[in-house]
Amino acid sequence: MNWFPEKIEGKLFIITVAICLGTSIFATQWLLSTEEDSLINKAKSDLIGLSQQHEFSIFNTLNDRLVQGTEIGDTIQRAWTTLDGSASVLPVEFETNEDGSQIGISSDLISSCYISPDTNLTPELRKKISQITSIFGSVAPYYLSEFRTINFISAEGIYIAAPPYQSPSFKTA
């Protein structure tokens, strides 16, 4: 009657194998999930690093554009305030709109001017506008590769833009 102890040993063996098998399945699953988490975290940190590099690059590009735009604005503002209308340049021809405003395109076709209806367009102011559009003619080709438009608005109500805005009714030829 040795059957009873063998049955217990057999049962213990089966229980031990089942426990080992369950433990190994659990350990394998845990290792795989840990490895997956590690790979996900590595990919996440790589993406964060890459996005920070792009953010830095975009920030530097925008900052460079801001500096360039400020330089353009300062250059044109200095030129506007120091011009006296005495230099000889090709005049800008103006067309009067229905509302009393005036629009003109520079002779080199690089910039256009808009003068509000409230602005008194004196001969001195005409010369000053011609001079500033001449300055636009030398500055705009360089900066229009970086900027879509260059705009200048004076306290006198004069708006100058490069490239030129062309009224549908304005004739250049």
β pairing state of 102-105 and 112-115: antiparallel
Residues 109 and 148 occupy one common structural domain: yes
Residues 105 and 152 occupy one common structural domain: yes
Q: For 86-102, what is each residue's pLDDT tens digit?
A: 666 677 788 888 888 88
Q: Is residue 9 part of a domain?
A: yes
Exposed/middle/buried for residue 56 (C-beta within 10 Å: 0-12, 13-18, 19+): exposed
At CA 93, angle to CA 155 and CA 98, rounded to 5?
70
At CA 114, angle to CA 142 and CA 145, rounded to 5?
15
Q: Is residue 65 part of a domain?
A: yes
Q: For 6-41, what is each residue's pLDDT tens digit?
A: 677 778 888 888 888 888 888 888 877 788 888 888
Give the pLDDT of residue 1: 46
Phi/psi region, residue 151 (left: phi>0; alpha: psi -120 to 50; beta: rest), is: beta
Residues 73 and 14 occupy one common structural domain: yes
Give the predicted TM-score (pTM) of the model: 0.56
Q: Is residue 96 part of a domain?
A: yes
8-state DSSP, 130: H
Q: Which of 82, 114, 131 is the last residue of a domain?
A: 82
**How many domains does the chain contain in total?**
2
Residues 153 and 114 occupy one common structural domain: yes
Range of the domain at 97: 87-162
Q: Which of 18, 52, 82 is the last residue of a domain?
A: 82
Tell me which residue has tokens 């520079």.
106
Q: Is residue 66 part of a domain?
A: yes
Q: What average pLDDT is seen over the chain? A: 80
Q: At what angle do helices 123-143 and 3-82 cross, to 10 degrees?
A: 150
Q: Is residue 169 part of a domain?
A: no
Asked whether the beta carbons of 129 and 156 are under 8 A apart, the reply is: no
